[in-house]
Structure 1
């Protein structure tokens, strides 16, 4: 019998396998498809590759502004998808984590098919493989949540969008969260006429209010139709040129048509076919596997990590939870999942990113000051002609702790990492303001915001960063 059997080879499963084997456990890693899971094959890696292509198109449109003559350019979408596959293959092939896992003697079973429990210690797959584990860690990830209305079979998911053979002339995107806005932004850049629908009062409802407003405004300036406060989607029907969606907004029936409809309304746990009942594993009211602070399920020898638990559904956080689950599977419940400083961002146009509390949440529990610096007041964005956006720091007035950072604009995802490191190191805002960040860079705008916050607090920084 294997000491630790791990189901799923995304970030959670891969890190769990590495940790378990590193602690000396006989470890097996079983995955339905290829090593890397959604993050490598259907998530951040392919999405970021497509977003890079969209960035290159934006840069190409600026060539004349910088005195560079160029012939007309066009997007060859099939060739772009070939490049996406090359990137995915190269990352998977050259994965340092995979080589370390192999070096530790982990038995990796790729393309094993869908796994299901036979009993609490036994799993078999649809390709007739059978595994026994003293401890088992579930890392099967998540799947797109379907929209349960008539005609929903005419819609597609974000995964389908990434595998199209050509850019559709028009597109409906239902869902204004992170996945939906990425699909909408990328295909707008590629030339699709995109309509984005959100049932709430604003797109990106988990982001700071100012971020949501800035991104929505930029989307509209790019020609995207952004419809918020949609009451409900009632049905889809086929048309000669694609699909028609019927919905209501402010109590009034309406409809919209496009060549393609993408539904991105959230994630569900990927537990279909697992037969959790045979193992006695419980799920919560949303269908995610219920775990405690040690990543244990309702069955003491079965753990779960990553998206299947419904917690913060991001690759770095999944990896951390996989590490914790494996540690406790081997050593017993000794390491709880720690509080995390979790930077989050998306490669839209403009990019947006955040770490920590939104201004609204911070004001509920703290006396705060807010410092905002616009990108059009910073050197590097002006140099690059990318002046849309801002950096916003939220600081506790008494302790001077940085409670949150929110950035909209070019390189926002990279920029926010500076604030995340400062927060994880428990730097006070005046300490961050004294760090002489390189000039001219996008990251330097965080230092500028820290300086503004320090001045608002009436503190002496002894240093003024370059703009």
Structure 2
């Protein structure tokens, strides 16, 4: 019998197995498919590779502005997909986690198929492998949510979109959260005509309202048809050239057609085949496994981490939860995730990102000051010809600390990484403004925003040079 068996080899599962083995537990790691899970094989790694190709397409169109004459870029989508496969393979091959896990003697079983509980301490895979363990950690991740409407089988998920053999001439993207806007942005850059539908009043509903508005403006300017508050879907049906979506709002019926429809309306736990009942593990109506602050499920010897818990479904959060689950599975109730400052962003055009609270959330409990530096007023963005966007800070007037940072525009994801560090460290805005950052850089606008806030709060900033550009 093993001490710990971890089900799933995504970010949460890898960290859980690594931590448990590092603490001396005899550990097995069982995964249905590839090492690395969705993040490496179907999520951030392939998506970021496609987004990079989209960026290169945009930058190629900018070359003539800088006196560089070349022909108009032409996308070879088959070659791009080959590059995506190469990147995914290289990421797996060079993963430091794999070498660490192997060095600690973790028993790794890839391509095991669906894994299910046989009893409270035993799991069995489709391939016939059976593992018994004192402790079990569930890290099976999530899958795209399906809608119970006629014709839904004619639609595709984001995973299908990444695996297309060619770029479709047109695409319906239903759902304008993080996944939907990435699909829309990438394929818009590749030349598809995109119609983006959001049932709620604004795209990116979990982002700051200013971010949602700015991204919607940019999307429309780039040719994407953005339909917010569009109503309710009645059905999908096949057409000679693709698919038709029938929907209605306030009694009025409407349709939209395209060669392909991608639906990204949420994420549910990938627990359908686990037979959780045989282990006595409780899940909610969407299949998400209920856990406490120690990542324990309803059974004290079974833990869960990552997307399967339905919490903040991001790679860094999954890794943190995996470490906590692995620690507590071996040592008992010692570690918790707490309330970390997790930066969130997306590689769309334009990029958007956040760290900390939105303005609306901040105003619920704080007296706040907001300041924004616009991209058309900073040196580096003017040099690069990337002048759309802003960097917005939300500051606690009393404590002078940063509650949130929201960025739309080039390198937004990178800018918020530094903001997250400042928030986690509890830095005052005058302290952040006093850091002499390199010039000219995108991150420099963060110090400029902090300096603006410090001045409005009558705080002295001892280093001003980078704040004047």
**Which residues in structure 2 correspond to 1:363-402 (within 5 Å)?**
363-402=363-402
Task: Please tell me whether the aligned partners of residues 117 and 275 of structure 2 are also in contact (alpha carbons under 8 angstroms).
Answer: yes
Equivalent residues, number = 467
2:205 match: 205
Task: Please tell me whether the aligned partners of residues 229 and 250 of structure 1 are also in contact (alpha carbons under 8 angstroms).
Answer: no
2:119 match: 119
2:43 match: 43
Task: Please tell me whether the aligned partners of residues 396 and 403 of structure 1 are also in contact (alpha carbons under 8 angstroms).
Answer: yes
Cα pair distance change 1:288/1:347, threshold 3 Å: same
After the TM superposition, which segments of 4 or more aligned residues of structure 1 sit over 3 Å from their partners?
none
1:276 match: 276
1:231 match: 231
Work out the CA distance in 2 between the residues paired with 1:235 and 1:371.
Answer: 45
**Which residues in structure 2 correspond to 1:248-397 (within 5 Å)?**
248-397=248-397
How far is the alpha carbon of 1:286 from its aligned partner?
3.3
Work out the CA distance in 2 between the residues paired with 1:347 and 1:341.
Answer: 20
Aligned partner of residue 14 in structure 1, secondary structure: helix
Work out the CA distance in 2 between the residues paired with 1:251 and 1:316.
Answer: 44
Work out the CA distance in 1 between the residues paired with 2:437 and 2:301.
Answer: 48
1:89 match: 89
Task: Please tell me whether the aligned partners of residues 341 and 423 of structure 1 are also in contact (alpha carbons under 8 angstroms).
Answer: yes
How far is the alpha carbon of 1:250 from its aligned partner?
4.5
Superposed CA deviations along residues 140-192 of structure 1, whole A, max 9, x for unmatched, are 00000012210000000000000000000000000010000000000000000
Superposed CA deviations along residues 109-140 of structure 1, whole A, max 9, x for unmatched, are 00011000000000000111111111000000
1:60 match: 60
Task: Please tell me whether the aligned partners of residues 270 and 287 of structure 2 are also in contact (alpha carbons under 8 angstroms).
Answer: no
Q: TM-score, normalised by structure 2?
A: 0.99
Work out the CA distance in 1 between the residues paired with 2:51 and 2:261.
Answer: 20
Work out the CA distance in 1 between the residues paired with 2:463 and 2:328.
Answer: 46
Aligned partner of residue 365 in structure 1, secondary structure: coil
Structure 2 unaligned blocks of 5 or more: none
Work out the CA distance in 1 between the residues paired with 2:262 and 2:129.
Answer: 35
Superposed CA deviations along residues 324-359 of structure 1, whole A, max 9, x for unmatched, are 000000001111222110000000000000011111
Structure 1 position 28 matched with structure 2 position 28: yes
2:164 match: 164
Q: TM-score, normalised by structure 1?
A: 0.99
2:411 match: 411
**Which residues in structure 2 correspond to 1:62-211 (within 5 Å)?**
62-211=62-211
How far is the alpha carbon of 1:251 from its aligned partner?
3.9
2:448 match: 448
Structure 1 unaligned blocks of 5 or more: none
Task: Please tell me whether the aligned partners of residues 380 and 442 of structure 2 are also in contact (alpha carbons under 8 angstroms).
Answer: yes
How far is the alpha carbon of 1:437 from its aligned partner?
1.0
